[in-house]
Amino acid sequence: MNCLTKTLAALFPAIALLPLSGCASRLDYTLNPPVSNDWVTVTVKLPQETEALPLDVLYRSETCRKEVYDNTTESHVTAVRGLNPKLVTLQPQGNGDIRQARVAVDGGGRCEWKLSAIRVDIQLKGDDPLASGKHILPTSYVFGFDDQAYGSGEGSGRKREVHGDLTLKNELFPMTVFNRVFNENTIALFGGDTNYEKWSRHYRLFDSKHILIEPVLYSKKIVSLETPKSRKDSPGMTVLYPDGSTEKVDDIYPNYDKLLRMK
């Protein structure tokens, strides 16, 4: 056996392992959906004063895993599914207020990426008079396609199971929050305390191919919240409702049922 033959013989076992070890240590984020793939169509019909941010799409891979710290194991290391986040722009449909995007369920590629979650964010436009001088917070809708927790779903509530296509027509109110301690003003679109399941905007979808979000915005029915002037004042937020009435609440949410009676 000559020198070259010996070298190749020694290298062959390592070469054979390269696809597996390389995939585990350096994820290939390329998507290559198969021709016969299923797709999820996300459609948003926007109120005039609002805009949609790019979809936050998350893929996961059983094939390409990554090591993370785990204090429950002796080695303090465990392997979890690889993550592949993508931003997908919602495209205008004609000259109207409809935005739409298609998302592949099977992302394909060397890592065999599978769709795990989609987050849809809508918010007031930056040039809307209501948003002037305020920090704009988006209102989120989260759609899960597996049972893994989605870390960017805060504020959307607990998961509700839905089978088949989904149409959402949430009723939203502009909500301003003035922090008197830090002199900060924010604005969001309020659709109820998502800690209550009936107002949650977090869904676990099964066999869903079409998602339609068509929120109703009562742009003239503004609800305002203010924090106490100082930390020495009694806790809680002061709420000013569109009809001029006020009340003190212990948390950061106004009374949504009361708002619905004022629409």
Instruction: Write out pLDDT tens, residues 209-247.
Output: 999 999 999 999 999 999 987 666 777 899 999 999 999
Q: Which residues, at least 6 apart from 231, have a Cβ–Cβ distance to it below 8 Å?
A: 181
Position 13 pLDDT exceeds 70? no
- Asked if residue 193 lies in contact with residue 133, where contact means CB atoms within 8 angstroms, the answer is no
137-146 per-position pLDDT tens digit: 999 999 999 9
Which residues sit opposite 62 in a β-bridge?
none
Mean predicted lDDT score pLDDT of the chain: 86
Which residue's entry shows tokens 């922090």? 179
Beta strand pairing status for 202-206 and 159-163? Answer: parallel
* 109 or 7, which is more confident: 109
**For residue 84, what is the enclosing H or E element?**
strand 77-88
- Asked if residue 191 lies in contact with residue 139, where contact means CB atoms within 8 angstroms, the answer is yes
Mean pLDDT lowest among 117-121, 133-137, 230-234: 230-234
pLDDT of 152 reads: 73
pLDDT of 182 reads: 84
**Cα 61 versus chain centre, distance:** 19
169-196 per-position pLDDT tens digit: 999 999 999 998 888 999 999 999 999 9
Beta strand pairing status for 39-45 and 210-213? Answer: parallel
pLDDT of 18 reads: 35
Hey, how many other C-beta atoms are within 10 angstroms of the C-beta on 1? 8
Distances (CA, A) of 112 to 20, 108, 190: 13, 4, 38
34-56 per-position pLDDT tens digit: 999 999 999 999 999 999 999 99
pLDDT of 156 reads: 87
